[in-house]
Amino acid sequence: MTDKQARRRYSSQVVDGVEKAAARAMLHAVGFSDEDFAKPQVGIASTWSNLTPCNMHIDTLADAAAMGIEEAGGKPITFNTITVSDGISMGSPGMRYSLVSREVIADSIETVVGAQGFDGFVAIGGCDKNMPGCAMAIARLDRPAVFVYGGTIQPGKERRDVISVFEAVGKHAAGNLSDIELKEIEATAIPGPGSCGGMYTANTMASAIEALGLSLPNSSAQDAVSQHKRQDSHAAGAAVVNLLERGILPSDILSREAFENAITVVIALEGSTNAVLHLLAIAHAAGLPLTLDDFARIGKRVPVLADMRPAGQYAMSELIAIGGIQPLMKTLLDEGLLHGDCLTVTGRTLAENLADVSPYPPGQKIIRPLSDPIKKDSHLVILRGNLAPEGAVAKITGHEGLSFTGSARCFHGEEAALAAILDGTVQKGDVVVVRYEGPRGGPGMREMLSPTSAINGRGLSADVALITDGRFSGGSHGFVIGHVTPEAFDGGPIALIEDGDRITVDAEACTIEVAVDAAELERRHAVWQRPEPYATRGILAKYAKLVSSASLGAVTDSDL
């Protein structure tokens, strides 16, 4: 086999030989020349859509990637996959489809690349589930591939973003914001294209994927509307052709050490709890063992250094202005907190990529020095106890305190909890329990951004905790615990809590306990009845039947 044939391992099976004349005829109609059939075919998985600011510009990035592929000697073929907007569907029944969309994106990219025989591909994502969905497809297919992040949005008026709007709703409910003021915030928070501007899930996962080695340096830290982002997309196209020429596969990049690097960077950036769920899923797709205990182990030695929203002060665009995450990664590498010998999509190691990176400018306040961290260990705290024997994930930044004890106030679903928060039913000292929102029970594990934002907007964030078998937006902050497993729909202890039960969360001991003895929990379980499923047909029903526990990444192919 020649080097050129090796670069066309998959497409040659589709277009080479007399018997493939029909395939070539079809491709002539979409613009292939005779010369193109001898080139490696490189797919471009675009999540373009005008339904959300996060993705409305990605068609232009796909065009730039195509140019990079062509100039490097490949034949680009662009195809689309879906996106849904968490920010738009948040707090509604539509949010049930959000995590489901991660699986649809991964499945659809795998389907097209596998069916069409692409030799490699570029995947471009903008909204929250795009990133892990693309990365899962890259891991499953194990063909040369590069991920491109669509980039972050610019701040709105007075440095506002979408979380400003959610929290304004809570202030309005508390009587601290007029109708006119709320409307003004609504109208000025989202100025144009790009993903939500704090260290929320999109920016967190883009940073994690860069740390994994699946995107080019700085891809995670670029404004959506910028020449840098177009150049990143162009370079990604060329990079895939380089990977093809060198025979470098995702399996050469996605090692256990690479996932440890990703976890380390997420912690240092004070990233979203969703990173736990998504990194578990990507590791599963790569066939690598990764568990909640790995997050706990790494979290003991990695500090929180980034003063980023939602718990902190700064937006992603402000981090970009001082150099993005590369100087942070260089600092972590120099301190022995990253594995520098991990291969990346540049064809070089992480250490080689970081060798010439300059430090942050003097006087910046966004990234703290290791000698003065925001928190000496991880804000992502893995909890276990009689309320979550298989684990739960807390986001404890230190601003909320390290423990909370209060009385349970239980709700079946997000809507009931939000109504009680907004109407004043929820009071200081309550632990709001939102259940039947897990992967199977929701189904789809909705994010509790509306309830947590309402708590913060009403000024209760220091006095109310919230626990759920659902999950949280990267924009959530406060004393919040999600991913409680086993989930309520499976009869987990969270289903057995009653109003008034005393619940204690201890982030230092990493425990979550309800003050009810085992015999009483067993008695309650004996009379507990599973509620009717939300859906009995269609994608939500299929998802609920297939999905694994959140502690395993909520994947849909774990038992196949």
Torsion, Cα 372 374 378 383, to 10 degrees, reads 140
Q: What is the pLDDT of residue 453?
A: 85
Percentage of the chain beyond pLDDT 70 is 98
Nearest to 249 by CA among 405, 143, 335: 143
For 77, the enclosing helix (H) or strand (E) is strand 75-80
**Model's pTM, two decimal places?**
0.96
Q: How many other β-carbons are positioned within 10 Å of the β-carbon of residue 335?
A: 12
Average pLDDT over residues 127-143: 97
CA angle 205, 210, 216 (to 5 degrees): 135
- For residue 308, pLDDT beyond 60: yes
Give me the catalytic one of 473, 476, 548, 549.
473
- For residue 526, pLDDT beyond 90: yes
Helix (H, G, I), strand (E, B) or coil at 6: helix
The residue among 60 and 166 whose pLDDT is bigger is 60
Query: For the segment 65-102, what is each residue's pLDDT rounded down to a tens digit?
Result: 999 999 999 999 999 999 999 989 988 999 999 999 99
Q: What is the pLDDT of residue 156?
A: 92
Average pLDDT over residues 409-413: 97
Q: What is the pLDDT of residue 173?
A: 83
- For residue 474, pLDDT beyond 80: no
| CATH architecture of structural domain 380-552 | 3-Layer(bba) Sandwich (3.50)
Q: What is the pLDDT of residue 3?
A: 57
Q: What is the CA radius of gyration of the chain?
A: 23
For 388, the enclosing helix (H) or strand (E) is strand 388-395
Query: Which residue is listed with tokens 């929180």?
Result: 304
Long-range interactions of 496-501: CB distance < 8 A, separation 24+: 496/521, 496/524, 496/525, 496/528, 497/387, 497/408, 497/410, 497/433, 497/435, 498/408, 498/410, 498/524, 499/407, 499/408, 499/409, 499/410, 500/407, 500/408, 501/407, 501/408
Is 380-552 in the same CATH topology as 39-154+192-354?
no
Q: Kindly indicate the confidence band of residue 473, based on its pLDDT and cuts at 50, 70 and 90.
A: confident
Q: What share of the chain is helix, strand, coil (3-state, %, to 5)?
A: 45, 15, 40
Helix (H, G, I), strand (E, B) or coil at 39: coil
Give, rounded to a whole angstrom, the gap between the first and last alpha carbons of the chain. Answer: 35
Query: For the segment 171-197, what is each residue's pLDDT rounded down to a tens digit?
Result: 888 899 999 999 999 999 999 999 999
Nearest to 473 by CA among 512, 438, 446, 440: 446
Domain boundaries, the chain: 39-154+192-354, 155-191, 380-552
Of 46-50, 227-231, 395-399, the one with minimum mean pLDDT is 395-399
Q: Kindly indicate the confidence band of residue 170, based on its pLDDT and cuts at 50, 70 and 90.
A: confident
Fold of 39-154+192-354: Rossmann fold (3.40.50)
**Residue 486: cis peptide before it, omega within 30 degrees of 0:** yes
473 noted as active-site residue = yes
Helix (H, G, I), strand (E, B) or coil at 270: coil
- For residue 377, pLDDT beyond 80: yes
Q: What is the pLDDT of residue 5?
A: 53
Distance CA 481, CA 388 (A): 10
Q: What is the pLDDT of residue 461?
A: 87
**49-76: string of b/e by CB count within 10 Å (b at 16+)?**
beebbbbbbbbbbbbbbbbbbbebbbbb
- Given a contact cutoff of 8 angstroms between Cβ atoms, the answer to whether 557 and 543 are in contact is no
Which residues lie across from 124 on neighbouring strands?
46, 148
Distance CA 555, CA 550 (A): 8
Q: What is the pLDDT of residue 1?
A: 42
Q: What is the pLDDT of residue 239?
A: 98
Nearest to 326 by CA among 359, 365, 292, 289: 359
Q: What is the pLDDT of residue 4?
A: 56
Average pLDDT over residues 546-559: 95
- Given a contact cutoff of 8 angstroms between Cβ atoms, the answer to whether 86 and 126 are in contact is no
CA angle 138, 144, 150 (to 5 degrees): 60
* Mean pLDDT of the residues in the chain: 95
What is the SS3 assignment for 142-210?
Answer: CCCEEEEECCECCCCHHHCCHHHHHHHHHHHHCCCCCHHHHHHHHHHCCCCCCECCCCCHHHHHHHHHH
Percentage of the chain beyond pLDDT 90 is 88
